[in-house]
Amino acid sequence: MESTLMNLTPRTLFSIFATAEAITWAGLIAAIISRATGVADFVSTAGGLHGFVFLSYVAVTLFVWVNQQWKTSVGITGILLSVIPFATVPYEIYLKKLGLLTGSWRLAPGGETPRGFIEKVQAWVLRKPLLATAVLLGVIVVVYVALLLMGPPVPQN
SS (H, E, C) 64-91: HHHHHCCCHHHHHHHHHHHHCCCCHHHH
Q: What is the pTM of this model?
A: 0.84
Compute φ and ψ for 23, nearest 5 degrees: -65, -40
Question: Could you give the CA distance from residue 68 to residue 61 in angstroms, rounded to a whole number?
Answer: 10
The tens digit of pLDDT for each residue in 95-142 reads: 999 999 999 999 999 999 999 999 999 999 999 999 998 998 899 889
Phi-psi region of 115 (alpha: psi -120 to 50; beta: other; left: phi over 0): beta
The stretches of 7-155 forming alpha helices (DSSP H) are: 10-36, 43-68, 72-80, 88-98, 116-127, 129-150
Containing 3, the helix (H) or strand (E) segment is helix 2-6
The tens digit of pLDDT for each residue in 67-82 reads: 999 999 999 999 999 9
